[in-house]
Amino acid sequence: MAASAAYGSFLNVEQLELDGGAFGISALEARSMDPQQSFVLGVGYAALVRGFDAKTVRVDLMYSDVGVFVGAEPSGLVIQESASVFSATGSAASITSGRFSYALGLVGPCYTIDTACSSALAALHVCTAALLRAECERSVSVGTKALSEAANYGTSVAGMTSLLGRCHTFDGRADGYCRGEGCAAFCV
């Protein structure tokens, strides 16, 4: 493995797990899902509930005019052991926002945006624009990223990531950037 591929901010196994039953997702379907879809469900739901009030529960969100805007790009982490009815949706980044809207019964606009490193910011921009145009009453914007070992290795071999494991933005010591995984959500 290239030296710089080892550096980054990586989630642990517990952070990748999903309580599928809480969102009406079977164990078979959960196994076929990109971890980013799990992140969006858990983190997005927490932001949405906090954005309404602490007493809001999932059933109260059904048929809410809430827009969902997700910034995500394919992670390459879904490994299909065998084909199933969930194979096509589990690894598609485009499904991420729809899965969230469907699981909660939301009826506002729903977009997944892939603009590489700027996906989360692009999703937040579209989210706020939808509110300004009165396309929905409320909205949630979620940005997520999970990294595959292959992608980390590829960016390292290409000389894109830092050999020192540090970003030195606008500095003469700069020798690349560091990659990271995570998920953040805003209820707007």
pLDDT of residue 23: 86
Question: Residue 36 in contact with residue 78, Cβ under 8 Å?
Answer: no
**Could you tell me the pTM of the whole model?**
0.85
Nearest Cα residue to 144 out of 96, 187, 91, 184: 184
Range of the domain at 81: 3-187
Please tell me the total count of domains within the chain.
1
CATH number at residue 74: 3.40.47.10
pLDDT tens for the chain, 188 residues long, are 566 667 778 877 676 677 777 888 888 888 788 888 888 999 999 898 887 765 667 778 899 999 999 999 887 766 556 666 666 666 677 889 999 999 999 999 999 999 988 999 999 999 999 999 999 999 999 999 988 888 888 888 888 888 888 888 899 999 988 888 889 999 99
